[in-house]
Amino acid sequence: MSELNQLINEQLSWFVIAFTVVVIIMAIVLILQGSKLGKMRRRYETMMSGSGVEDLESLLIDLKNQGDMLEEEQKEHKALIEAAQVKMRGMKSKMAMKRYNAFGERGNDLSFSLAIVDDNRSGIVLTSLHNRENSYIYSKPLEAGESQYPLSPEEKEVIALALQQI
């Protein structure tokens, strides 16, 4: 046992020096980590200042709630836009008109045919026939670009012109 005590006494100075070096290294690491933590805390406080939120968790929860609300509003807007597009396809917005002299008499081209159709090729054809004594107006419905009533060449022409706009 005395040999063991003698060995420990001889090596004790080296152990103390080694442990001292380890403690100094750990103290340096502790100081560096403390300064990094201080910088991080200052950046965190700078980020959180002026937001009206106490901590980062509350801020993230608020941002998630706002994102969810925006997503819901986006879905509502998308539905409204799709509904508007469906309505627009049904609007009678494609028109064509031709003026002509229906009776071959002297005078101006006071007769006309007007086609008003939508994107589904449905709509109406209005025809006004004018002569010296009278004026007549006819309307004929259109479904899929066709009418159940006989069409004059002028009416067929204005329907074709209106359908070219689709």
| % of the chain at pLDDT higher than 90 | 30
Q: What mean pLDDT do residues 123-150 have?
A: 87
**CA–CA gap between residue 107 and residue 96 (Å, rounded):** 23
Q: Which helix (H) or strand (E) holds 96?
A: strand 94-100
- pLDDT at position 100 over 90: no
- pLDDT at position 111 over 80: yes
C-alpha distances out from residue 108 to 105, 132, 134, Å: 9, 11, 14
pLDDT of res. 151: 86
- Label residues 95-106 b or e (16+ Cβ within 10 Å = b): ebebebebeeee
Q: Which residue has the higher pLDDT, 140 or 132?
A: 140
Q: What mean pLDDT do residues 111-121 have?
A: 86
At 166, is the pLDDT very low, low, confident or very high (cuts 50, 70, 90)?
Answer: low
Q: Which residues pair with 129 in a beta bridge?
A: 136
Q: What is the mean pLDDT of the chain?
A: 85
pLDDT of res. 28: 96
pLDDT of res. 120: 80
* C-beta separation of 163 from 117 below 8 A: yes
Q: What mean pLDDT do residues 65-90 have?
A: 89
- pLDDT at position 90 over 70: no
**Token pair listed for 2:** 């005395």
- pLDDT at position 29 over 90: yes
**CA–CA gap between residue 97 and residue 126 (Å, rounded):** 9
- pLDDT at position 146 over 80: yes
At 107, is the pLDDT very low, low, confident or very high (cuts 50, 70, 90)?
Answer: low
- pLDDT at position 105 over 70: no
Give burial (CB, 10 Å; 0-12/13-18/19+) of 53. Answer: middle
Q: What mean pLDDT do residues 107-132 have?
A: 85
Count helices and strands (H / E) in the chain: 3, 4
